[in-house]
Amino acid sequence: KNEVEQSPQNLTAQEGEFITINCSYSVGISALHWLQQHPGGGIVSLFMLSSGKKKHGRLIATINIQEKHSSLHITASHPRDSAVYICAVRLATLMNGLTFGKGTHLIIQP
């Protein structure tokens, strides 16, 4: 069983819609990252969270440590938001690198 589960795997929405991507993990973590990857490979770090909520422009990320769950929200979605969104966690155990979810393929249609 993958330690990091993302849902949905694929999401197609219309421009302007409110988007939610979910990430659940099974063990204690010290930090959670949300990453964005556009076709061609480049990865951009959107957020790093250890508690609470962060906002950057139209993007909002929340984390609930007790429930081992994080969400990434996109408000007023735009076709340029089309990308793969990846959740990654750093386990609380020392000497661990990142463990990744399989990603959510998001397509925003004009």
Count of residues in contact with other proteins, rule CB under 8 A: 23
Q: Which amino acid does the sequence have at 99?
A: T
Q: Which of residues 23-82 bind other proteins (CB under 8 A)?
A: 30-31, 33, 35, 41-45, 48, 50
| 13 sits near other proteins (criterion: CB under 8 A) | no
Q: What angle do CA 41, 92, 52 make, to 5 degrees?
A: 75
Please select the residue that binds other proteins; options are 39, 57, 97, 110, rule is CB under 8 A.
97
Nearest-approach distance from CB 59 to other proteins, in angstroms: 15
